Structure 1
Amino acid sequence: MRRVLPIVVGVDGSEPSLRAVDWAADEAVLRGVPLRLVHASLWERYEGTHPVRDPHRPSEEVMADDVVGVAARRVRRRQPDAAVSTDVLAEEPEYALVRESRDATLLVTGTRGRSGLAEALLGSVSLTLAGHAHCPTVVVRGAPGDRGAAPSRGRVVLCVGTDGKRSPVVRFAYEEARRRGVPLDAVRAWRMPAYETTDLPRTSAELARLHQQQALEALETALADIPADIETHRRTVEGHARSVLAAASQDAALLVVGARRRPRAFGLQLGRVAHGVLHRSACPVAVVPEPV
């Protein structure tokens, strides 16, 4: 019998992490998988966040166990049928959650910060997880007042790279669109290199058409295996991919990008596009690992 892997959520008691719990609870119900809430006890040292106090309990009682307890009660109020488990790990969150990702179907985290300005920046934990997790990682972004929009709303935006057919990023995106019953918006950004520009309008136009055609071909190749039941919209857009995708995220439920995983490589394994959208997206971002 095949083991059902849970969705793992990193919780630290902050409002951004609780919005991530909301998103993950809805996603767990959509997928029909368990939800595992994990608190790594050294989190506050790195992120500088403060737990959201349970208004029904004195602040001195809010400890590590209560952080996951508050999150679990929040899940049960939002999704009573969700199967929830909790754990407190006495270690650094980066190491603990990357290890947890080995046995997870999805790893979910929030942004850092306690204000709109702070949340424009991504914490070191979220960046590390996006760059090193063994399963897809979702960083839940959104307005501070949004307590977790249901993942069935909106559309799924896919950043199409040059990976060809049968890409795990494409598969993840269309499966998410199918679960939600929403369209898949596949976007391929393109730019005409500066060294190819010319003062001759006709030549410039011809070069632009060439690069746009190459983008269209890459788009069609990547989407060749998408099932017929997925409503798919294809778009090529001239501009920097980070800016194009940030604009596309404004009315989306989820933005999906890929991140290459180089065996035995050190440092952050995120490309410029993934790194950029994690800082600028208006909706949750799914980073799907891809082997080189």
Structure 2
Amino acid sequence: MAPPLIVGVDGSEPSLRAVDWAADEAALRGLPLRLVHASLWERYEGTVLAEDLGKPSEQVMAEDVVETAARRAHLRRPEVEVTTDVLPEEPEYALVRESRTATAVVLGSRGRSGLTEAVLGSVGVTVAGHAHCPVIVLRKNHDDRVRSATGRVVLGVGGRREDAAAVRFAVEEARLRGVPLEVVRARLRPGPEAPHHAVEPGEPVASPAERAAEELTAALRDIPSGTASRRRTVEGPAHRALIDASAGADLLVIGARRREGHYGLALGRVARAVLHHTGCPVAVVPE
């Protein structure tokens, strides 16, 4: 059996919306769904689920969290196989470990201790930065539908060979949804004193725009023929280009590189900014 989609659930509204989204994604991919609640606390802390169950919050237990999420997934997609688990440990560590045997991990983001939705919860940042599979993060303002009537999948590339895993993931997501793939390569405007790009003697000097276009082509060399795609380079900071491109998209896909000397993935400024401010669900794909 193919590895499942794993959803981290905590009973909050964002996590239940993530369950809805993941149930649709599991149906698209023909995958089982695994709902995991990880916490060092036996009881659920919050009011949304308590009100739904008609219980005082201090009487809502971890089993209530996963059972409610499982019922929601079954109502959403009866054809999807759903399993649940309760793990007595910190969610960051539990979900990173679970990612070793998952197709992807899906999370709803929320700030802890009443922080505003503008601040991504630490669980989302940690899991996206250390997981062994793609991590898809949905913010509270994101639609819980994986497909829209006029949707598309946006892929951000940096012109590196390491973008290959993100490219493959984005191509497959666009194919499953039956929507176009939009590929974005950002480039900065060179300053007046910026050094020229090093070239060999006799080699023509390429402009920044030409180099960005060449890097975009190189990153997409293995994209299957017949894939409906739009490719463009955008002048400006990468995080701003991707945030702008994400407006109205079904999914934004970015790659994350492993760095020597770090545990797992070290998310850079672009990935962090996108996770905090993007206008659609974000998939962070480890290379």
With the shorter chain as reference, the TM-score category is 0.7 to 0.9
Structure 2 counterpart of 1:149, from 141, 145, 150: 145
* Counterparts of residues 11-160 of structure 1 (less than 5 Å): 11-42=9-40, 51-53=48-50, 55-59=52-56, 60-113=58-111, 118-143=116-141, 146=143, 148-151=144-147, 154-160=151-157
Partner of 2:8: 10
Cα separation, 1, equivalents of 2:187 and 2:76: 41
Listed as ranges, the gaps of 5+ residues in structure 1 are 199-208
| Residue 97 of structure 1: how far off its partner (Å) | 0.5
2:233 pairs with 1:236: yes
* Amino acid aligned to 2:166: V
Higher alpha-carbon deviation: 220-229 or 65-74: 220-229
Partner of 1:226: 223
For residues 87-117 of structure 1, what are the alpha-carbon distances to aligned partners after superposition, in whole Å with 9 as ceiling and x for unaligned? 0000011110000000000011111149x98
User: Structure 1 residues 93, 162: closer, same or farther in 2, change over 3 A?
Assistant: same
* Amino acid aligned to 1:27: E
For residues 201-232 of structure 1, what are the alpha-carbon distances to aligned partners after superposition, in whole Å with 9 as ceiling and x for unaligned? xxxxxxxx811111100111111221123101
2:187–2:208 Cα contact (<8 Å) kept: yes
| Residue 57 of structure 1: how far off its partner (Å) | 3.2
Cα separation, 2, equivalents of 1:56 and 1:134: 35
Secondary structure, counterpart of 2:146 in structure 1: coil
Partner of 1:203: none
* Amino acid aligned to 1:150: V
User: Structure 1 residues 50, 210: closer, same or farther in 2, change over 3 A?
Assistant: farther
1:51–1:67 Cα contact (<8 Å) kept: no
1:260–1:269 Cα contact (<8 Å) kept: yes
* Amino acid aligned to 1:191: L
Structure 1 counterpart of 2:281, from 266, 281, 284: 284
Partner of 1:204: none
User: Structure 1 residues 44, 170: closer, same or farther in 2, change over 3 A?
Assistant: farther
1:49–1:113 Cα contact (<8 Å) kept: no
Cα separation, 2, equivalents of 1:40 and 1:166: 32
* Amino acid aligned to 2:278: S
* Amino acid aligned to 2:253: V
* Amino acid aligned to 2:180: P
Cα separation, 2, equivalents of 1:269 and 1:42: 26
Higher alpha-carbon deviation: 150-159 or 244-253: 150-159
| Residue 265 of structure 1: how far off its partner (Å) | 1.5
1:140–1:284 Cα contact (<8 Å) kept: yes
| Residue 62 of structure 1: how far off its partner (Å) | 1.9
2:256–2:265 Cα contact (<8 Å) kept: no
| Residue 159 of structure 1: how far off its partner (Å) | 0.2
For residues 63-95 of structure 1, what are the alpha-carbon distances to aligned partners after superposition, in whole Å with 9 as ceiling and x for unaligned? 100001111111011111110000000001111
| Residue 254 of structure 1: how far off its partner (Å) | 0.3
User: Structure 1 residues 6, 181: closer, same or farther in 2, change over 3 A?
Assistant: same
Higher alpha-carbon deviation: 261-270 or 18-27: 261-270
For residues 145-194 of structure 1, what are the alpha-carbon distances to aligned partners after superposition, in whole Å with 9 as ceiling and x for unaligned? x4x12346511000011223871011111010000000000000101232
Listed as ranges, the gaps of 5+ residues in structure 2 are 196-205
For residues 221-271 of structure 1, what are the alpha-carbon distances to aligned partners after superposition, in whole Å with 9 as ceiling and x for unaligned? 111221123101001110111111111111100000011123552486102
- Over aligned residue pairs, what C-alpha RMSD do you find? 2.7
User: Structure 1 residues 213, 49: closer, same or farther in 2, change over 3 A?
Assistant: farther
Cα separation, 2, equivalents of 1:263 and 1:55: 46
Partner of 1:206: none
1:43–1:92 Cα contact (<8 Å) kept: no
Secondary structure, counterpart of 2:94 in structure 1: helix
User: Structure 1 residues 267, 228: closer, same or farther in 2, change over 3 A?
Assistant: closer
| Residue 122 of structure 1: how far off its partner (Å) | 0.5
1:14–1:52 Cα contact (<8 Å) kept: yes
Cα separation, 2, equivalents of 1:260 and 1:50: 38
TM-score, normalising length: structure 1: 0.86
Q: Number of aligned residue pairs: give it.
A: 275
